[in-house]
Amino acid sequence: MATLLTLTNEGFATTLGLSEADGRRPSVWGVARLIRREVLRRSVVTRRELRLTVEPYLSAAICDADAAATIQGVAEQMVEVGELLEVRVENQRGYAFTPPRWVRISDDEAVLLGATQCEVCEFTPTVPNQFLRRFCPSDRISAALERIGVVQVAFDAWLEEPVWGAMADSDQGIESLNQLLEWYINRLDTDGSPLRIESSMIMGVEHRPGEFFGSERKRERSRWVSCNQLKDGIYVGAQPGQNENHWVPLLIRVQGTTGRTIELHCRNEGAANADLRSWLLIAIGVKNERKEVISIDSQANLVQGTFPLPSAVRRVLCLLGEPTGKWQQYEVRNWASAVGVLRRVFPSIEMR
C-alpha cells in the first residue's frame, strides 16, 4: 500500500530545491532544475507552456516573487551560457536543449551543460543565484561522462568569440576590434551627419574608465556629458529617440565647435546595437591607452563591470560565477582564476 506524505509549503519548497535563505523568492538553482526537466521531457517548449508547467510549483512553495518573470529570467540566463537554445515555435518564442557537453574552467572546476540527466557528478549550489551544474573534473568523472555521451569542449570553443565582421558590412573582412572601430571612424566622413556642438542635444561618454558610468537620462555624477563638454576626439554617445527613455547609440567625432555623428545599427536589434556600442567603447579605450575596466574585489571574490558589458563578456562571467543581483556584479569561486581567464579572452579590457 502506498504511503502518503504530507508536506508543509516550506517542506515542499525544500524537496524541490526552491528554498531560499530569505524565504521570499525561489532559488535560481531550483527553478533551473524544473526548467531542465520540462524542456528535456518535451524537447521543445514555448515560453507559455514552460510558465504554465513551472509556475504552479512556485505558487505551492508560496514564493513571494513574480513567478513568470522569475522563470523567464532564469531561462534567459540559461540561454546566455548555452544551456538552452532559444527557438521559434509556431511564431512563439520558446526553448530547446543543446547537446550535452562539459567545459573545464580550472583544474578543480568544470560546468555541465545541455540535455542530460546526469548522475555521475555531484552538484552542490554554493550561492543563492547559482543555476549551473558545477563539479570537480576528475579522471573518473570525465570517463563516466564520456560513457554516457557527454563530451568535453574547449573553453574557447564554448565561448564562440565575437565575429567582428557581423557588426559591419559583410564584405569588409573585419577581423579585429581595432578594425571595427576604424571602419566606423571612416564612415563618419562618408556617411556621418554634421554636428553643431553648441546647439546639439547629443550626449557623449567621457574617457574616464572605471568611474560611474550612469545613463543618458540621469547624467549626474556620471560619464555622460553634453557634446560641448567633450574635448576633441572620438566618442560613443547617444541622441534622443522616440521618447525620453529611448536613446539612439552613436559614434561621435568632436573637432572644435563642430563634428560628425553616425548611428550605430547592428542587425536592427536593440541588444545588438547596445553590444556594438560597448565594443566600440572598449576599442576607443585601447586607442586612447586607457582601457575600460572590470573591477575585482579579491576579498569577497566579486567581479563587476564598470561600463555596460557586451554579451560575450557577460556570457563568460556567467560561466565563471553567478550574478549577485547588483549591476553587472558576479560572485566567482576564485578571483585569481577568474581574472586569468578574463585577461586571456578579453585583453582589451583592464582587470583591476
- CA distance linking residue 165 with residue 177, whole number of Å: 10
Q: Decide if pLDDT at 329 tops 80.
A: yes
Q: Report the pLDDT averaged over residues 135-154.
A: 88
- CA distance linking residue 76 with residue 85, whole number of Å: 10
pLDDT at 241: 78
pLDDT at 268: 77
Other beta carbons within 10 Å of 294: 25
Taken in order of first residue, the domains within the chain and their CATH numbers are 9-96 (1.10.10), 101-159 (no CATH), 170-287 (no CATH), 293-351 (no CATH)
Mean pLDDT, the chain, integer: 86
Q: Decide if pLDDT at 286 tops 60.
A: yes
pLDDT above 70 covers a percentage of the chain that reads: 88
pLDDT at 231: 93
Q: Decide if pLDDT at 352 tops 60.
A: yes
Q: Which residues pair with 95 in a beta bridge?
A: 45, 86
Q: Decide if pLDDT at 181 tops 90.
A: yes
pLDDT at 334: 87
User: Given pLDDT bands bounded at 50, 70 and 90, which one contains residue 160?
Assistant: confident
Q: Which residues pair with 294 in a beta bridge?
A: 305, 351
pLDDT at 12: 56
Instruction: Calculate the CA dihedral of residues 80, 14, 112, 84 and round it to 10 degrees.
Output: -30
pLDDT at 219: 73
User: Given pLDDT bands bounded at 50, 70 and 90, which one contains residue 271?
Assistant: confident
- CA distance linking residue 294 with residue 334, whole number of Å: 16
pLDDT at 25: 67
What tens digit of pLDDT does each residue of 189-248 get? Answer: 899 999 888 777 899 999 999 999 998 777 778 999 998 899 999 999 999 877 777 789
For helices 47-60 and 9-16, the axis angle rounded to 10 degrees is 130
pLDDT at 165: 79
34 neighbors 67 (Cβ within 8 angstroms): no
Q: State the pTM of this model.
A: 0.88
pLDDT at 87: 93
Q: Decide if pLDDT at 295 tops 70.
A: yes
User: Which of 5-14, 44-53, 63-72 has the weakest average pLDDT?
Assistant: 5-14
Calculate the alpha carbon distances from 197 to 168, 242, 249, 252 in Å. Answer: 27, 22, 17, 11
pLDDT at 242: 76
- CA distance linking residue 98 with residue 22, whole number of Å: 33
Q: Which residues pair with 103 in a beta bridge?
A: 111, 153
Q: Report the pLDDT averaged over residues 332-348.
A: 93
User: Given pLDDT bands bounded at 50, 70 and 90, which one contains residue 17?
Assistant: low
Q: Decide if pLDDT at 129 tops 80.
A: no
Q: Report the pLDDT averaged over residues 299-312.
A: 95
Residue environment code for 185-223, b if the CB has 16+ CB neighbours within 10 A, otherwise e = beebeeebeebebeebebbbbebebbeebeebeeeeebb
Q: Is pLDDT larger for residue 267 or for residue 43?
A: 43
Residue 135's nearest CA partner among 126, 146, 124, 147 is 124
Tell me the three cell numbers of residue 230.
Answer: 567633450
pLDDT above 90 covers a percentage of the chain that reads: 48
- CA distance linking residue 293 with residue 204, whole number of Å: 18
State the alpha helices, DSSP H only, in 172-306: 177-191, 270-287
User: Given pLDDT bands bounded at 50, 70 and 90, which one contains residue 290?
Assistant: very high
Q: Which residues pair with 325 in a beta bridge?
A: none
Helix or strand or coil: residue 194? strand
User: Given pLDDT bands bounded at 50, 70 and 90, which one contains residue 2?
Assistant: low
pLDDT at 124: 63
